[in-house]
Amino acid sequence: MLEFSQHQDRGFGMSAYFWFEGIPFAAIAHKREIIEGSRDKFVIRDEDTVIVSYPKSGTNWLTETVCLIQTKGNPKWIQSVPFWERSPWIEFQDGYLTLINKEGPRLMTSHLPFHLFPKSFFRSKAKVIYIIRNPRDALVSAYIFFRNTKLIDNPESLGTYFEWFLKGNGVAGDWKNHFTVAQAETFDKVFQEKMAGFPPGLFPWK
């Protein structure tokens, strides 16, 4: 756990978060033992399907689409069962407990970055559906969402949240934590080219 002064430096209140493997998690919604258990103990089966994304990237829309595909377009399931029950979150306590006790092929969701993802996945034949969104849109969507919830300390302004985002202090850490090293390097190269006309020092390339 970081000292209080370090929490302040990173833009977060000590009471709102706990840090695990370099990622801030909202204490109101997560438990350290569940995050650790999902990585080290949770068993993903060959027949499972996992929807993975960075927060505010269209996860719920994708879940609805996948559920309709699974029911061959019949909307009865999505109209009668909440999406968090149809596709529980691996890193939330309720979702974790639901999934470990569920039989048959499972549909599940996660915002966990690569280094916190269940280790069992890499020994399985399970399918992952990954959705990615333009980071500018994900940033604005997250800012609006968190301004209207009490899940985390509300940012004072979009500018404040923009600073948090650039420092990698999003709810699931750095947006590029979901990238491989090669993807991160490619993104940096393309982004620098597109931002070439902006004042020097505006973006922290190094």
The residues that are catalytic are 111
Question: What is the side-by-side order of every strand in the sheet holding 127-131?
Answer: 107-110, 49-53, 127-131
Helix 158-166 × helix 135-147 angle, to 10°:
130
In the chain, the largest separation of any two C-alpha atoms, in whole Å, equals: 56
Q: Who contacts 12 (Cβ-Cβ below 8 Å, separation ≥6)? A: 24, 152, 153, 164, 169
Q: Which residues contact 192 (CB under 8 A, 6 or more apart)?
A: 203, 205
- Cα separation, 2 vs 137, whole angstroms: 30
Angstrom distance (rounded) from CA 24 to CA 116: 12
